[in-house]
């Protein structure tokens, strides 16, 4: 590891990238928050979950649709609609062009979106929404990009997600003591994590957690939480799965006041609220930033160039986020994560549940992704 802590890494970015900013260290910290989201996104892609992904969706609370919460990533049951190839001169690639190419004329109405999957300057929109109505969410992603054209996959998502993934950057600014904003941010994440799924948590008098689930009949089922969670994951019973959502939190150390082994109040709050809480280590974050953003090999220079151009202090859209990213950075990022997946998975420690590994999480999400969402919702 080249930097002994995230704070040292943030200082390096302050000196080398954000020197122009009025508050350079704060700008570097925000950029690191974006990097955490990008790492999480490409990890999910590397696990083969891109066709299930929606980004920045507002999801209703369980049995309380009047209140919705914005979540960074949601994973939905996915039904493949079509794979289409559009030539390079087709840029920009819009929902209307894709709908026409696959013969979905009924989308060419008021519900079709205007967001471009791939713009003329080759900025990619991840999890690009083509069409949406109360029963479905249609997304597209670029499967392959070549000089003469692009292969695009179109998938229909069931609105209710089987999992949500959120990144929490909780830290302190230089010269500032740990303030109430850190615990409030943790509490906000904890509230959302506890409100989306039909499987509710109840703490017993001895401190253990039980899960409570109401079946369609009105019957209440209760078992120790982790045991109940595994029962639902193994089930194909629509009564259990219909409104069930696994919650995953990803946290990283911004401010050097907690570690994966030294849990402060914020981390304890999040650990008891999310079904899975992952800690992106200082070493892991450094292992991404140095070889890809600061000192890349030639194959990854376009990632660095996109990052620097997005944070040059000039006007213009950021092309290095989980939502919008330059195609020139997306392709080598895919390559890096697919070639180094085992190493990337090693960047994370599992805070909760105790005794589990990140590969267990990968298996659980894959199990949920394989279930037939349409059958469940009938």
Confidence at residue 377, expressed as pLDDT on a 0 to 100 scale = 67
Q: Note the pLDDT tens digit of each residue in 268-308.
A: 889 999 999 999 988 899 999 999 999 999 999 999 999 99
Would you say 79 and 374 are in contact if contact means Cβ atoms under 8 Å apart? Answer: yes
Q: Note the pLDDT tens digit of each residue in 332-368.
A: 999 999 999 999 999 999 999 999 999 999 999 999 9
Diameter of the chain by CA atoms? 66
Would you say 266 and 258 are in contact if contact means Cβ atoms under 8 Å apart? Answer: yes
> Residue 248: helix, strand or coil by DSSP?
strand
Element spanning 370, H or E: none
> Residue 286: helix, strand or coil by DSSP?
helix
Average pLDDT over residues 139-165: 96
Name the pTM for this structure. Answer: 0.94
Q: Note the pLDDT tens digit of each residue in 81-138.
A: 999 999 999 999 999 999 999 988 778 777 789 999 999 999 999 999 999 988 899 9
Say if strands 246-254 and 163-171 run parallel, antiparallel, or are unpaired. parallel
pLDDT band at 261, cuts 50/70/90? Answer: low
Per DSSP, the residues of 7-76 read: HHHHHHHHHHTSTTSTTHHHHHHHHHHHHHHHHHHHHHHHTT-GGGEEEEEEEEETTEEEEEEEEEEEE-
Confidence at residue 29, expressed as pLDDT on a 0 to 100 scale = 83
């Amino acid at each position: 590891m080249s930097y002994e802590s995230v704070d040292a890494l943030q200082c390096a970015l302050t000196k080398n990238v954000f020197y122009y900013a009025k508050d350079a260290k704060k700008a570097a910290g925000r950029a690191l928050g974006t990097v955490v989201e990008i790492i999480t996104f490409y990890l999910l892609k590397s696990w083969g979950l891109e066709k299930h992904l929606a980004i920045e969706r507002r999801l209703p609370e369980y049995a309380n649709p009047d209140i919705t919460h914005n979540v960074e990533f949601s994973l939905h049951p996915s039904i493949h609609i079509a794979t289409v190839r559009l030539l390079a001169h087709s840029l920009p690639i819009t929902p209307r062009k894709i709908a026409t190419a696959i013969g979905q004329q009924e989308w060419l109405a008021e519900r079709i979106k205007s967001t471009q999957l791939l713009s003329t300057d080759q900025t990619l929109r991840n999890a690009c929404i083509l069409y949406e109505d109360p029963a479905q969410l249609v997304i597209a992603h670029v499967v392959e990009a070549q000089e003469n054209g692009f292969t695009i996959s179109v998938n229909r998502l069931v609105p209710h997600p089987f999992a949500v993934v959120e990144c929490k950057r909780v830290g302190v600014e230089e010269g500032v003591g740990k303030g109430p904003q850190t615990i409030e941010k943790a509490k906000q994440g904890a509230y959302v994590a506890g409100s989306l799924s039909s499987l509710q948590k109840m703490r017993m008098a001895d401190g253990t957690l039980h899960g409570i689930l109401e079946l369609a009949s009105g019957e209440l089922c209760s078992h120790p939480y982790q045991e109940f969670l595994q029962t639902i994951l193994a089930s194909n019973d629509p009564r259990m799965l219909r409104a069930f959502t696994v919650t995953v939190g990803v946290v990283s150390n911004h401010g050097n006041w907690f570690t994966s082994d030294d849990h402060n109040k914020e981390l304890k709050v999040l650990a008891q609220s999310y079904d899975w809480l992952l800690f992106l280590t200082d070493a892991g974050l450094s292992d991404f930033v140095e070889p890809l953003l600061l000192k890349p090999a030639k194959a990854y220079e376009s990632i660095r160039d996109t990052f620097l151009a997005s944070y040059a202090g000039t006007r213009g859209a950021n092309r290095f986020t989980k939502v919008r990213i330059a195609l020139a950075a997306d392709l080598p990022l895919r390559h890096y994560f697919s070639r180094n997946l085992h190493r990337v998975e090693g960047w994370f420690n599992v805070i909760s549940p105790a005794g589990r590994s990140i590969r267990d999480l990968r298996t659980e999400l894959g199990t949920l992704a394989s279930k037939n969402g349409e059958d469940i919702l009938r």
